[in-house]
């Protein structure tokens, strides 16, 4: 990582950067992505990361926006994919009937599932980040309650936030709010079943993804799990439909 950015991080984060770079064999780049900037003082600007078999780079809204806690979060994503070689959800290379919207949706879902594992680690490292996540889920639940989203979108988003609340944040007030929406949408049974499946498969990305697609009612056609290897610059794919799971 460029020294300009590395020097702005806490010592333990700098050590993590250097450890990850040594293990993956690449320097983690930092790139300004102005599309990540927003004009609302009510919404935080967020970082992101791009990861493939050739390495990783952090995307930041501006040169001045490089908060250590956010970097910690993105480093956990990088470690999962490039060191632990946990597979990520992608459109299969040989699948032609895809759309950019489908690809974006799968990326968001993969990110949300990764958060079930990453955010608890993040909160151990930076406990004050809990306020960030509480605010994010509060906004998400208000949006679900107030916006007229298609039923399927509302169902998927609510179940996703509900699982995150129960497995990660465990905030009683927000859980009560989510539970009320779950009952309004008549999702109590599938929500309970999805939570049980997520708990039992949390240590297997393959099983967790398969369970998510089942309970969120997402078609698995054309969807693959991709495992990255930076040392050989390879990205190996396996079809999600080939993964068997008992519900």
Residues 120 and 236 in one domain: yes
- Domain final position from 53, 84, 115: 84
**Structural domain count, the chain:** 2
List, for residues 2-56, the tens digit of each pLDDT value. Answer: 999 999 999 999 999 999 999 999 999 999 998 887 755 566 778 999 999 999 9
Which structural domain range is residue 141 located in? 85-247
d(CA 12, CA 218) in angstroms, rounded, equals: 39
Residues 40 and 134 in one domain: no
d(CA 16, CA 94) in angstroms, rounded, equals: 36
C-beta of residue 17 within 8 angstroms of C-beta of residue 9: yes
List, for residues 127-160, the tens digit of each pLDDT value. Answer: 999 999 999 999 999 999 888 777 888 999 999 9
Residue 82 tokens read as 């490039």
pTM of the model: 0.93
C-beta of residue 136 within 8 angstroms of C-beta of residue 161: no
Residues 18 and 139 in one domain: no
Residues 5 and 28 in one domain: yes
- The overall average pLDDT reported for the chain is 93
- Domain final position from 14, 49, 84: 84
Residue 39 tokens read as 């004009």
């Amino acid at each position: 990582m460029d020294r300009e950015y590395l020097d702005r991080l806490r010592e333990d984060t700098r050590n993590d950067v250097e450890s990850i770079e040594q293990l993956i064999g690449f320097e983690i780049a930092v790139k300004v992505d102005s599309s990540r900037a927003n004009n609302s003082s009510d919404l935080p600007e967020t970082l992101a990361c791009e990861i493939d078999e050739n390495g990783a780079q952090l995307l930041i809204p501006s040169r001045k926006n490089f908060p250590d806690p956010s970097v910690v979060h993105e480093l956990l994503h990088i470690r999962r994919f490039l060191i632990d070689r946990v597979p990520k959800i992608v459109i299969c290379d040989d699948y032609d009937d895809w759309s950019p919207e489908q690809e974006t949706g799968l990326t968001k879902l993969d990110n949300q599932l990764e958060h079930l594992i990453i955010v608890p680690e993040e909160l151990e490292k930076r406990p004050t980040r809990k306020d960030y996540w509480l605010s994010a889920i509060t906004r998400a639940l208000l949006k679900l309650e107030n916006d007229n989203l298609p039923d399927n979108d509302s169902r998927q988003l609510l179940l996703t936030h509900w699982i995150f609340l129960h497995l990660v944040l465990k905030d009683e007030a927000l859980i009560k709010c989510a539970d009320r929406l779950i009952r309004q949408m008549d999702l109590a049974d599938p929500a309970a079943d999805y939570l049980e499946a997520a708990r039992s498969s949390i240590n297997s990305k393959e099983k967790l993804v398969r369970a998510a697609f089942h309970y969120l009612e997402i078609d698995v056609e054309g969807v693959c799990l991709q495992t990255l290897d930076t040392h050989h610059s390879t990205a190996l794919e396996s079809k999600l439909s080939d993964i068997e799971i008992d519900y």
